[in-house]
Amino acid sequence: MASASQPYSLLLLPGDGIGPEVMRQVRRVIDWLAKKRGLEFKVEEALVGGASIDAHGVPLTDAVMAKAHAADAVLLAAVGGPKWDGLTFEKRPEAGLLRLRKEMDLFANLRPAVVFDALVDASTLKPEVVRGLDIMIVRELTGGVYFGEPRGIEDLGNGQRRGINTQVYTTDEIRRVARIAFELARGRGNKVCSTEKSNVMESGLLWRQEVTAVHKAEYPDVELSHMLADACAMQLVRNPKQFDVIVTDNLFGDMLSDEAAMLTGSIGMLPSASLGAPDANGKRKALYEPVHGSAPDIAGRDIANPIAMLLSFGMALRWSFGLHEEATLLEQAVQNVLNTGMRTGDIMQPGMAKCSTSVMADTILREMDK
């Protein structure tokens, strides 16, 4: 995938709860990369979510939306918290995030599920089943049953009501997300498993046909398999290491990515990326964020795990800036630090050293120095 050139422009949106604490650690990695690697970043920071509501009365201002469009990559921590829970939906912190995703037209959600050796016991499965697990789920994000028309609840007049959602996919919607999956596979294990319910759903049948056509015409070098979504859910807990890249629709992706996440253990470890269409220069809009939320229960205490946020930045280095070596360096440092027994509270194990958010980041930076 074509990437941005220097200076790399980044919009940081710390948001609410533990957001600012974990985003601060990203800043430190950016400073490290500038100082130690001579890389040039143009970093801006702005408000989103509850922080924006408090300052401007809305969860995302037009000015911040414009900055997001202009940046090479947007990094978001988390939004929301009990303080803003009483508001109507359009005024809530989450509405800011939804507008951001919608206006950037982010159609592919990338959710890696990686099991670090040091945390193999945190998995819901046996160590031998997950040791070395490294899969990537690509979820279609803008189409499918969550958005298809007609939708709604109808009164049938005889005391009955009817709830309707419609699964709709077009050729283009399927093809563009399939291309992302194939591109990703080329840089990894070179395998894509496409997942739908083509046995009972017309949109699933179209999905299978279109993924097959894209494969044949553009990516014949990548190994493609198809699996029904129910079988895939089963295989993910039975033998997850058979998968490399899984590409699937919005609904199945929602479920399968959460299922895969639980194979890895803590939510504080999981990054994600959402990618949009490439512009004339081949540059894509992209938003990177940890899978976890704003965790108001632990906010402001310097105890949150910064790794999901740091690995999200690692994905930005890789997918927006093409800095694969630096991304690997960061990921390797995380792995090495976990191997030494350093743990934040959420991934604490008996006999390990408990540390704060900032000390975890200190240690990762020191490891990158080596």
Q: Residues in the site for ligand ATP, rule: CB under 6 A?
A: 18, 78, 80, 267-268, 292-295, 297-298, 304-305, 308, 346
> Positive or negative CA dihedral for 347, 351, 353, 356?
positive
Give the residue with the Cβ less far from Mg ion, 77 or 178: 77
Query: Known binder of ligand: residue 300?
Result: yes
Rounded to a whole number of angstroms, the minimum distance from the CB of residue 326 to ligand ATP is 22
Rounded to a whole number of angstroms, the minimum distance from the CB of residue 320 to ligand ATP is 22
Query: Known binder of ligand: residue 244?
Result: no
Query: Known binder of ligand: residue 19?
Result: no
Using CB distances below 5 to 8 A depending on partner kind, what does residue 236 bind out of Mg ion, ligand ATP, none?
none
Catalytic residue among 254, 283, 354, 362: 254
Using CB distances below 5 to 8 A depending on partner kind, what does residue 308 bind out of Mg ion, ligand ATP, none?
ligand ATP
The residue whose Cβ lies closest to ligand ATP is 293
The tokens describing 190, both together, are 């070179």
Catalytic residue list contains 16: no
Using CB distances below 5 to 8 A depending on partner kind, what does residue 297 bind out of Mg ion, ligand ATP, none?
ligand ATP
Query: Known binder of ligand: residue 302?
Result: yes
Site for Mg ion in 276-305 (CB under 5 A): 293
The tokens describing 181, both together, are 């999956």
What angle do helix axes 19-37 and 307-319 make, rounded to 10 degrees?
50
Catalytic residue among 54, 121, 172, 258: 258
Task: Kindly write down the DSSP assignment for every residue of 67-101, as one continuous string.
Answer: HHHHSSEEEEEE---GGGTTS-GGGSHHHHHHHHH
CA 58 to chain centre: 25
Catalytic residue list contains 244: no
> Positive or negative CA dihedral for 212, 110, 107, 42?
negative
Rounded to a whole number of angstroms, the minimum distance from the CB of residue 78 to ligand ATP is 6
Catalytic residue list contains 369: no
Give the residue with the Cβ less far from Mg ion, 72 or 289: 289
- Rounded distance between C-alpha atoms, residue 227 and residue 247, angstroms: 10
Give the residue with the Cβ less far from ligand ATP, 109 or 167: 109
19 is an interface residue for Mg ion by CB under 5 A = no
Rounded to a whole number of angstroms, the minimum distance from the CB of residue 293 to Mg ion is 5
Query: Known binder of ligand: residue 295?
Result: yes
Of the candidates 47, 40, 55, which has an alpha carbon nearest to the alpha carbon of residue 8? 40
3-state secondary structure of 319: helix
Query: Known binder of ligand: residue 268?
Result: no
Catalytic residue list contains 72: no
- Rounded distance between C-alpha atoms, residue 337 and residue 310, angstroms: 13
Query: Known binder of ligand: residue 248?
Result: no
- Rounded distance between C-alpha atoms, residue 49 and residue 41, angstroms: 25
59 is an interface residue for Mg ion by CB under 5 A = no
- Cβ(154)–Cβ(129) below 8 Å: no
3-state secondary structure of 132: coil
- Rounded distance between C-alpha atoms, residue 162 and residue 152, angstroms: 8
Catalytic residue list contains 146: yes
* Other CB atoms within 10 Å distance of the CB of residue 303: 19
Give the residue with the Cβ less far from ligand ATP, 197 or 343: 343
- Cβ(149)–Cβ(166) below 8 Å: yes
Give the residue with the Cβ less far from ligand ATP, 74 or 193: 74
93 is an interface residue for Mg ion by CB under 5 A = no
Catalytic residue among 67, 146, 283, 362: 146
Q: For the chain, give percent helix, strand, coil, nearest 5.
A: 50, 20, 30
Provide the annotated binding site for substrate.
101, 111, 139, 230
- Residue numbers annotated as active site: 146, 197, 230, 254, 258
**Footprint of Mg ion on this chain (CB under 5 A)?**
293
Provide the annotated binding site.
81-94, 101, 111, 139, 230, 254, 258, 293-305
